[in-house]
Amino acid sequence: MDLARMVLHLPWNAKLEPPTISTDVEKSVFDFAIQHGLRVGRSVLLCPINNSAPKLPLLFWNEVAHLLSKKGLTVFTNMGGLNQYNGLSSMPIGGTIPVELPISWVIPFIRLAGDIISGGNGMYSLVALADNKKFQMTQLIQFSEQAVRSHSSLGFRSPTHPEVGNEIVSAFQYYAPELCINVNLTEFLIPHDGDEHELMRLARVVVNRDVSDKSCILRLGSGGNKYIIEHQDWLADLRECPN
């Protein structure tokens, strides 16, 4: 976020502000959501589309959707912005309800649903800017099993996978920690070229939000606690509307 401030020639302490959503948009989204079978607080929006990073395999997303449905949740696939290059080989994800959400509808839709699981993409960064994030957020950060592992220059201190390096830059806990305060966020590293057995296992980890698994990203501070907790006082000052 400091890089964004630099590019825009803003002061280093310029505060992040949530996007404005009109009451007319919220009403339109509510009507649309109910018509498409959304159950308030008992639904999940899956966002597999990605324009700039490798997509996670359809096998993985199908298993995620299947396990969520077994939990009694209504599952949607966001089709907004889909083209021949950025989607999965089969869209929507099997067993889910397709919804084509304009970018301005995504946040109010998730607020109603209560849950979002997404690959790392620009749309998810917009969702992170929302205020009143009372919904669950899960970010899936794609990486390659074949990539060279190295020590992270960002001070990554997870005891479960200390060797992982550059891919962690995409985690909100690193590039936008001010957006993570009082937010129900979990982040996982998922290999886009992982074998079938591992992808199926990780689908269960994601659905169960198993933070004890080695794939779960946890940024720790120098005191051994979560970085977000250790630094929440000054991080909160960088947000216009802290939760």
Torsion of CA 183, 24, 51, 131, to 10 degrees: -20
Q: Measured between alpha carbons, how far is 239 from 218 in angstroms, rounded to an integer?
A: 22
Q: For CA atoms 216, 217, 221, 226, give the dihedral sign.
A: negative
pTM here? 0.87
Q: Measured between alpha carbons, how far is 227 from 154 in angstroms, rounded to an integer?
A: 12
Using 50, 70 and 90 to split pLDDT, how confident is the model at 56? Answer: very high
Residue 241: pLDDT over 80: no
Torsion of CA 68, 69, 71, 73, to 10 degrees: 90
| pLDDT tens, position by position, 30-42 | 999 999 999 999 9
| pLDDT at residue 243, rounded to an integer | 46
Using 50, 70 and 90 to split pLDDT, how confident is the model at 173? Answer: very high
| pLDDT at residue 154, rounded to an integer | 46
Enter the DSSP assignment of 14. P
Q: Measured between alpha carbons, how far is 217 from 192 in angstroms, rounded to an integer?
A: 16
| pLDDT tens, position by position, 8-24 | 898 988 887 888 899 99
Residue 107: pLDDT over 90: yes
| Annotated domain spans of the chain | 56-225
Using omega within 30 degrees of 0 as the cis cutoff, is the peptide bond preceding 191 cis? Answer: no
What does the mean pLDDT of the chain come to? 87
Residue 156: pLDDT over 50: no
| pLDDT at residue 144, rounded to an integer | 79
